[in-house]
Copies of this chain bind each other. A is one copy, B any other.
Amino acid sequence: MNLIDLLGYFGAFLSAITFMPQVWLAWKTKSVGDLSIWMILIVITSCVVWLVYAVNVKSGPVLAANLIVLALSLLLFYFKLTFKKPK
């Protein structure tokens, strides 16, 4: 594996963990009013598209990264539906 491949894997790793601190903050505060539901829906849609792409081009890193992001964005979507905004 050369340096550029490594860079790609590092990028995929960072992209995969992007929503971890956001899920943690939302869970801790039970507050998601400032999160855009459209952002979450676009992320879910893009993950599905990337997963189909990854299976077809047989890319393990893209598959793994998007499975993690899909799980985290579904969690954010669930939080968005269940945590009530304070009045």
Contact = CB atoms under 8 A, between A and B. Distances in A.
B36 A33 contact: no
Work out how many copies of this chain go into the complex. 2
A18 B42 contact: yes
Interface residues of A, number: 36
A31 to B, nearest CB: 5
Contact of A36 (B24, B42, B45, B46): B24
Contact of A56 (B4, B18, B39): B4
Contact of A39 (B10, B18, B29): B18
Contacts of A14: 42, 45-46, 49
Contacts of A18: 39, 42-43, 46
